[in-house]
């Protein structure tokens, strides 16, 4: 299995949207919601990193600050996205502990 095939089913697709709307299979809907959440966190994380870098080095990364429009928009984006990422990480970690206990957490890092 190639890397492309492995990642092909990691992100949300049109089939997941259909599953959420019409599927009678609760497990299929559950997995579809998971893919939507994991797909949504990627751009949110990228926004958090980009806005944080722009706030940290505004003189060196003035082009990045300019992408956000003005300083207040930059701050607003950063202070909205960072708590979302932290909340996602916390909930993700708690669910991993619930499902696999410390064995699952240990396997993520080893």
Q: Which residues constitute the domain of residue 94?
A: 3-109
Q: Which two tokens stand for residue 11?
A: 């992100």
Which residue would you say has higher pLDDT here, 26 or 2?
Answer: 26
Give the integer Cα–Cα distance in Å for 85 and 45. 6
In this predicted structure, the answer to whether residue 109 has a pLDDT above a threshold of 80 is no
Q: Tokens 């019409």 map to which residue?
A: 22
Residue 88, C-beta contacts closer than 8 angstroms, at least 6 positions apart: 37, 41, 44
Give the integer Cα–Cα distance in Å for 13 and 3. 18
Which residue would you say has higher pLDDT here, 25 or 6?
Answer: 25
Q: What is the number of residues in the chain?
A: 110
pLDDT digits (tens, 9 = 90+) for 48-102: 999 999 999 999 999 999 999 999 999 999 999 999 999 998 888 787 777 777 7
Cα–Cα distance list, 46 to 39, 59, 96, 102 (Å) = 12, 20, 23, 29
CA-angle at 44, arms to 82 and 17, nearest 5°:
135
Give the integer Cα–Cα distance in Å for 107 and 87. 22
Count of structural domains within the chain: 1
What pTM was estimated for this model as a whole?
0.75
């Amino acid at each position: 299995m190639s890397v492309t095939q492995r990642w092909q089913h990691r992100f949300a697709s049109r089939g997941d949207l259909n599953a959420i709307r019409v599927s009678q299979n609760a497990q299929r809907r559950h997995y579809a919601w998971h893919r939507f959440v994991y797909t949504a966190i990627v751009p949110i994380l990228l926004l958090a990193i980009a806005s944080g870098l722009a706030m940290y080095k505004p003189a060196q990364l003035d082009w990045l600050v300019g992408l956000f429009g003005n300083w207040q928009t930059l701050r607003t984006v950063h202070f909205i996205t960072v708590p979302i990422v932290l909340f996602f990480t916390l909930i993700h970690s708690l669910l991993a502990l619930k499902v696999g206990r410390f064995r699952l957490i240990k396997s993520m890092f080893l």
